Chains A and B, each alone.
Chain A
Amino acid sequence: MNETPILKAENLYYTYDNEKSHSLNGFSLEISQGKKVAFMGANGSGKSTFFLCCNGINRPYKGTLYYRGKPYDYSRKGLLELRSKVGIIFQDPDSQLFSASVYQEISFGILNLGVSAEEAQKEVEQVIEKLEITPFRHKPTHALSGGQKKQVSIADILVMHPDIIILDEPAAALDPKHTVLVNKIVNQLTQDGITVLMSTHDVNYALEWADEIVLLHKGQVLMHGSPLDVFTNKEMLEQTNLEQPAVLQLFESLCKKGILDASLPLPRNLSTLEGYIENIHTISK
């Protein structure tokens, strides 16, 4: 079945400095509904610029973006409609949180959609419960930890029930505990059928989590494919300053040493690899 992509970018060009250099330089991409897409690439490769274009904050000077097959409408009404469907969570939560009250902060987006105060209240309470914000809901935003701020910034968007959620490096500057928590929230989102676009430098997480990987280089899509296709292409990884995920490196090394059979399917996480090794152990017994 040939489904219309939920988001399509066609030959986008965007510049921050009057066309001297291009942050997006002929960027084309199609994203299907319900997919988990990881955007990877070196700093300055155009990930954040593309995300801002998706939400209508940046308007490409050339090329077209489509949402569900319709080109973006940059009128005030069109943008409001678009932003109710495409939510973006910024890398630095301090750039997103404007209120000192967690409750006020979360209620902002949904009230802008024209929902009644009663319904907004119900939705805010639900999202607070769902994202485990209750223990710190009465704290001012400036007293929250980095991880808590990130939780609130995700709640800000989730409460608006968008079809697409964009996360710009959600685990940036988080400790391992909060990274796990944010990853858990992201997994919940995908289970709810929301299309999630995420930029990350964590190749191990991307391999395990994503349905598709988009490699960006100098404002263009260098490669778009399944995690295993992308992460086995060492040439492309090198161009984008990325390393192969540890699990693939280890698998390759074990295959070279003859410990594992190279015909085995490539593992996407450590537990699969552990299973392969366990099997050898059981057979040898």
Chain B
Amino acid sequence: MITIDMLCYYSKLRYMNAMEKFTYAMLTLLFCVVSRSLVLAILVLIVNGILTVNKGGIPFSRYRHYLTIPLAFLILSTLAVIVNISRTPLDAFAFQIGSYYLTGSYASLYKGIQMILTALASVSCLYFLSFNTPMTDILSVLKKLHCPDLLVELMLLIYRYIFLLLDISFSISVSQDCRLGNRDFRTSMKSFGAMASVLLIRAMAKSGALYDAMEARCYDGRLLVLDEQYSPKSREIFWIAFFEILLLILTIWSKLR
């Protein structure tokens, strides 16, 4: 199983109403992006951290690990905003290289930190959703939001097939390893190509077999399935509403400032 997928199935917040979690994550993400406020971003990071680690039971080390993945990209891309090469030094820092300076201003430094924190807070909203909500629940929310059936059904099948094809590719890869198929770069490339072609053929065969199996159960062009419903709790709705109103006030305050 893919780790993120496994985590959401073991999360203590898994059985919380999916629409509540989706609404919370999306509204919070929206406020993060709209406000670009440092205070709001820090608040969201802390709250999402508490919700995911303390309430959801996701190990802190895992959560930290997943947050550092975008952090590395963010720092690298923000460097372009913070660091300038100029003939005149700016106010925050300046390193002389010949007749040029590697320099940055307090304003750009602030902008860079603001960008990093806003992006991290936004990512934490998505992590909250993906660490605590199984894909099938997210798809049922999308269905309720009148997302086109074709799209939702495609996502459902793709999600299922990711795991099937991963299993097949893993067993092919093991069997190639057993026969020294990845001995050097040349054989690795050859083995990878062979695996890709076999995977394509298997995917086609599996899709044919799946279609037959669905037809055998009276499939008539629409994937009709029941979703397990976890009823929303008024206490949870109250706290979500409270937090979102707080974020709204912070957003207005940051814009009026």
Q: Annotate A76-90 by CB proximity to B: 1 below 8 A, 0 otherwise.
A: 100010011001101
With A103-B228, A124-B226, A142-B163 as given contacts, are A98 and B213 in contact (CB-CB < 8 Å)? yes
Query: Would B226 and A103 count as touching, CB distance under 8 A?
Result: yes
Query: Would A112 and B213 count as touching, CB distance under 8 A?
Result: no
Residues B201-257 near A (CB distance < 8 A): 206, 209-210, 212-220, 223-228
B135 on the A face (CB < 8 A): yes
Query: Would A104 and B226 count as touching, CB distance under 8 A?
Result: yes
A143 and B5 CA atoms in complex are apart in Å by: 10
B173 on the A face (CB < 8 A): no
B164 on the A face (CB < 8 A): yes
A90 closest partner in B (C-beta): B213
Q: B16: which A residues are within 8 A, CB to CB? A: none
A166 closest partner in B (C-beta): B216
Query: Would B218 and A112 count as touching, CB distance under 8 A?
Result: yes
CB distance from A90 to the nearest CB of B (A): 6
**Contact with B226, one of A97, A100, A107, A143 (Cβ below 8 angstroms):** A107
A108 and B157 CA atoms in complex are apart in Å by: 13
**Contact with B217, one of A94, A108, A138 (Cβ below 8 angstroms):** A108
Query: Would B206 and A57 count as touching, CB distance under 8 A?
Result: no
**Contact with A57, one of B157, B210, B216, B227 (Cβ below 8 angstroms):** B216
Among A55, A99, A121, chain B packs the most CB atoms within 10 A around the CB of A99
CB distance from A114 to the nearest CB of B (A): 9
Query: Would B209 and A92 count as touching, CB distance under 8 A?
Result: yes
Query: Would A117 and B217 count as touching, CB distance under 8 A?
Result: no
Beyond the given pairs A57-B216, A99-B225, 17 more chain A to chain B contacts, judged by CB atoms under 8 angstroms and listed by A's residue number, are: A52-B212, A83-B215, A88-B216, A95-B212, A99-B136, A101-B136, A101-B225, A103-B228, A104-B226, A109-B217, A112-B217, A140-B5, A140-B9, A140-B163, A143-B9, A156-B217, A160-B218
